């Protein structure tokens, strides 16, 4: 299994990050892509990837929530990080009109700039879109041809949005959202429509603890070791074997992020 999105730079992991990584390995994770989402987490994601070669990889970008922070200094630093071999994608970047933590115009500006950096660096993009498909799609479409690859992470949108992303040959990341009895209904219905070759799984830890997880951890924090619960829910929705889903999603992750085929010792 490969967790393509875990926010391991998050401070909720500060006290026990080593134990979290040990549990992830024990749970059968082959690799984890650590999400960078602002100036600080980008640096820490890279530090983590360097400390755990072959197991941890990093992204570098600015989440739409922080889009107001976009400036020349950050742009230059992300461009620099994008050249690091451990940084396997730009992002997370995109648009979030659900929380609206940053003005839409600032979000669009930071998103466009990061797509440009991804094209320059020749690296894939890790995309975030929530309640913003109408604005997000034309921007992505404009850049799609020039971009290497892209994943719409934590997909929770409509059938139409899914169709639009698949038409642009995007990978689709599924989180523990699918394990939510009520909220995940729509996603469970759509998951069988994703071609096996375009499906990825992720925890988005520490967020989105799978609600099916037994026993539920006391602190309600999600971690990569719980990825198997996402895999199981995806497999069930698709009428497939969890081991098969784990295998082909890991192969997809290696293809998209160009990870080495065999983990370094």
Binding site for Zn ion (CB under 5 A): 128
Backbone angles phi, psi at 196, to 5 degrees: -55, -35
What is the closest distance, in whole angstroms, from the C-beta atom of residue 254 to Zn ion in the complex? Answer: 21
Residue nearest to Zn ion (CB): 128
Backbone angles phi, psi at 251, to 5 degrees: -65, -40
What is the closest distance, in whole angstroms, from the C-beta atom of residue 124 to Zn ion in the complex? Answer: 15
What is the closest distance, in whole angstroms, from the C-beta atom of residue 157 to Zn ion in the complex? Answer: 13
Q: Would you say 129 or 252 has its CB closer to Zn ion?
A: 129
Backbone angles phi, psi at 34, to 5 degrees: -85, 125
Q: Would you say 102 or 235 has its CB closer to Zn ion?
A: 102
Two tokens at 42? 């980008």
d(CA 4, CA 173): 8
Q: Would you say 93 or 245 has its CB closer to Zn ion?
A: 93
d(CA 26, CA 23): 5
The H helix count followed by the E strand count for the chain is: 9, 8
What is the closest distance, in whole angstroms, from the C-beta atom of residue 99 to Zn ion in the complex? Answer: 11
Q: Would you say 30 or 202 has its CB closer to Zn ion?
A: 202
Q: Would you say 74 or 208 has its CB closer to Zn ion?
A: 208
| Spatial contact of 63 and 92, defined as CB atoms under 8 Å apart | yes
CA atoms within 13 A on the CB side of 170: 27
What is the closest distance, in whole angstroms, from the C-beta atom of residue 208 to Zn ion in the complex? Answer: 10
d(CA 63, CA 196): 27
């Amino acid at each position: 299994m490969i967790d393509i999105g875990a926010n391991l730079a998050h401070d909720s992991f500060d006290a026990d990050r080593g134990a979290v990584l040990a549990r992830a390995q024990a749970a059968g994770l082959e690799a984890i892509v650590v999400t960078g989402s602002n100036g600080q987490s980008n640096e820490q994601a890279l530090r983590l990837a360097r400390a755990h070669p072959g197991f941890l990889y990093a992204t570098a970008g600015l989440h739409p929530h922080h889009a107001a922070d976009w400036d020349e200094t950050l742009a230059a630093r992300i461009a620099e990080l994008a050249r690091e071999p451990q940084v396997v994608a730009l992002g997370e970047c995109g648009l979030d009109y659900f929380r609206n933590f940053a003005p839409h115009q600032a979000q669009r500006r930071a998103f466009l700039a990061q797509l440009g950096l991804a094209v320059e660096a020749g690296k894939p993009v890790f995309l975030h879109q929530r309640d913003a498909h109408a604005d997000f799609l034309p921007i992505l479409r404009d850049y799609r041809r020039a971009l290497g690859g892209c994943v719409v992470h934590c997909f929770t949108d409509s059938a139409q949005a899914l169709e639009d992303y698949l038409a642009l040959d995007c990978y689709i990341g599924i989180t523990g959202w699918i394990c939510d009895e009520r909220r995940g209904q729509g996603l469970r219905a759509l998951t069988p429509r994703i071609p096996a070759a375009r499906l990825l799984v992720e925890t988005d830890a520490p967020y989105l603890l799978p609600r099916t997880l037994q026993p539920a951890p006391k602190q309600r924090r999600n971690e990569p070791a719980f990825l198997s619960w996402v895999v199981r829910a995806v497999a069930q929705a698709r009428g497939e074997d969890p081991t098969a889903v784990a295998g082909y999603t890991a192969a997809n992750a290696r293809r998209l992020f160009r990870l080495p085929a065999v983990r370094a010792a």
